[in-house]
Chains A and B, each alone.
Chain A
Amino acid sequence: MKKSGLFIILLALGYQRAAAQTLTPQEIIRKIDTTERVASSWSVMRQIITTSGGKKRTLEMETWMRDRNDKQLMVYTAPKRVKGDKILMLNDGDDIWFYTPKTDRVRHLASHAKKQKVQGSDFAYEDISGGEIEKDYTYQLLGEEKIVGVDCYKFELIPTASGPSYAKLILWADKEKFLTLRIDYYEPDEILKRLQMDDIRQIDGHWTAFKMLMKNLQDGGETIMEILKIKYDIKIADKIFTTKNLKRR
């Protein structure tokens, strides 16, 4: 009896593996999009920028996301130099506004400005804006590889017109969790940056990388983004994501 029970379990596991193995690249990408594009979230994050010369700058921010990352708001809370600066991203990052309380001015960023570094970090605006792999890239499954001991799917992503400005991205995603673990950014054959996810935990049923390291492979600088607090599937009012709200102090 026990044997037959074990057999059923093994059979079920075997079926699952076989099912996973038979996933098409499109199904895998859709699963990654589903995992990473959550309904809503609020988080407190810390960003540690280390320059190529070894100097460090630390920033903290509060972020709100809604509608599967379609709407995002980042508010810098420290240090005092940038406190109150806000970044609003709508339409999957197609529209980005920057607000600074120093001049009480809201500025709409043109597409080219999305290549600019955010507050001197190694993240560009286009790296932190939302988006959907299926919509913003054409993709090709290159195979499977282990990344820090985890079995991953390896994809080549070529940005479409709605995607970022990079020539291509190589993405590794956890085969079980369908969560991105690493991205290499290329321009066009030269690797520019590497994003590495670490400290993966499950919060409110969502797999979350609590540490993201963006390494600039050109100049040796790096930026770590750490999640200090996070909540998922919370109710966030629509009015938070408006340019009118940016001026609220």
Chain B
Amino acid sequence: MKSKFYLFYFFCLCALPPLPAQELEISGYFENQFFPQKMGDGLKLQDYNKLRLDLSTEISDNLSFNTDFIYRTFHGMTSINLLDFLPEKLSRGLVALPREYTTIEQPDENYLDNAYLTFYSERMNVRLGKQQLPWGAGYTWNPTDIFNDKNTFDPTYEKVGVNALKIELSFAAEGMLSAVLSPGEVWENSTKALKLRQHFHGFDLSACFIEKEQQTFTDALVMGIPLFTTFTEKRRLFGGDFSGELFGLGFWAEGAYNKMKISEDYGQYLTGADFTFENGLYLTAEYYRNELGKSDKKDYALSDWMRLFSASGENLGQNYLFAGQRYPVSELWNWSNFALINLDDKSAILFPWFDYSFNDNTEIILVGYLPLGEKETEFGEFGYGGFARVRVYF
């Protein structure tokens, strides 16, 4: 039924009478990703094919429409058992549960990723519909971005669109006030956000306030079995970020203080720096302080792991270091090495990363996952693996 709706939607778009065919731009890409990972004694294989179709048109001088549709098919291991990723002390009690309680199914999917109208004027832009809302100056983490789920293993990958109304008012040369409303069922559970941004003497500075209603994970003991549950609560975020240059280094910082209605308030802060040498070698590092996490691995509860596995992707520990290097081996090859380190439980994951421009419109990425650490640490039980991604643009 859903597929039929999107097909109908696509044909409607293509048939919009006031738009001459040459004004409707069609583009997109096909992507295949193969993801082998060692789990237990075996090698589990996952694979997907993704087709993204982008349509855009300038309806008039000050009005445009953009949309993209995604169709993705999953192959290989499409059923993920969370017990394979949990420490034994937590998974032991869950083994008795029916399989559907501990398994995430990955069915084929098709959805409108983005679909929005944008109205432009001298001082104001208004965007309505499912859209990208990337907030924050951080690279691996973005404490002020509550709209998107960030994959710390692949932080620059495109995000899923957010259904919202965004109004941007510009002032002075590079100042901007943004207001976002992402509607929920009623006004009270809708997400409201305000952001003030200014460029000042080479620095991009911003301050923001966000109010949203969210699902919070918590632990529960049911018949002696440690389980987890969720509850709904209001979250108010006060945050800001800046990026610029200090002592010849690129420098950025981002922070958010989260005032929670029921659970404990917490802060999340980061700072990072980067530098490029004459030979093109690029170095970067980012430190992240996460007050939502635990400083001792013994305190990692099932709810913490579930929060990590969930869309929010919040890490388990309190202190993290991300460090990396990228070197252009040739015009077409980049060789990078990244490390994500949990400074509390002393576990880490290393990512050797190669990207290659196969031709004008084809890119190939090869990434390895090399986990380090003891048992029951965040990365220590992550299986060796990696992924190969091919993307062809059209």
Within the complex, what minimum Cβ distance (angstroms) separates A174 from chain B?
30
Q: Please give, as numbers and ranges, the residues of chain B lying within 8 Å of A239 by CB-CB distance.
A: 122
Question: Contacting chain B: which of A33-41, A62-70, A111-119, A131-139?
Answer: A111-119
Stretch at the interface among A99-107, A175-183, A224-232: A99-107
The 9 A-B pairs of least Cβ separation, nearest first, read A110-B250, A104-B132, A80-B393, A79-B360, A112-B276, A51-B331, A110-B245, A81-B393, A105-B134
Chain A residues 17 to 60 lying within 8 A of chain B, measured CB to CB, are 49, 51-53, 55, 57-59
The answer to whether A80 touches B276, judged by C-beta atoms less than 8 angstroms apart, is: no
Contact B331 A49 (CB under 8 A): yes
Q: How far is the CA of A113 from the CA of B251 in the complex (A)?
A: 12
Partner of B134, one of A52, A55, A104, A116: A104
Q: Is A95 an interface residue (CB 8 A)?
A: yes
A135–B273 alpha-carbon span in the complex (Å): 29
A193-246, CB < 8 A from B: 219, 221, 239, 242-244
A14 to B62, CA, bound (A): 58
Instruction: Report yes or no: A249 in contact with B118, Cβ–Cβ below 8 A.
Output: yes
A interface footprint on B183-204 (CB within 8 Å = 1, 0 otherwise):
0000000000000000100101
Residues from chain A with a CB closer than 8 A to the CB of B134 are 103-105
Nearest CB in chain A to that of B132: its residue: A104
Q: Within the complex, what minimum Cβ distance (angstroms) separates A102 from chain B?
A: 6
CB atoms of A219 and B276 under 8 A apart: no
Contact string against A for B residues 146-182, beta-carbon threshold 8 Å, 1 for contact and 0 otherwise: 0000000000101100000000101001101000000
Known contacts A242-B174, A243-B174; A110/B274 CB under 8 A:
yes
Q: Which residues of A contact B131 (CB under 8 A)?
A: 104
A49-B331, A51-B331, A110-B249 given; A249·B280 CB < 8 A: no
Which residues on B sit within 8 Å (CB–CB) of A110? 244-245, 249-251, 274
Q: Which of A49, A108, A242 contacts B243 (CB 8 A)?
A: A108
Beyond known contacts A120-B332, A244-B168, A248-B118: 19 more, CB 8 A cutoff: A49-B331, A51-B330, A53-B330, A57-B331, A57-B332, A59-B360, A80-B393, A81-B357, A81-B363, A95-B199, A104-B134, A108-B199, A108-B243, A109-B250, A112-B250, A115-B278, A116-B276, A121-B331, A249-B118
- Which positions in A face B, CB cutoff 8 Å? 49, 51-53, 55, 57-59, 79-81, 83, 94-95, 102-105, 108-113, 115-117, 120-122, 165, 187, 219, 221, 239, 242-244, 247-249
- Return A134 CB to nearest CB of chain B, in Å: 22
Task: Please state if A81 and B331 are interface contacts (CB–CB under 8 Å).
Answer: no
A159 to chain B minimum Cβ distance, whole angstroms, is: 13
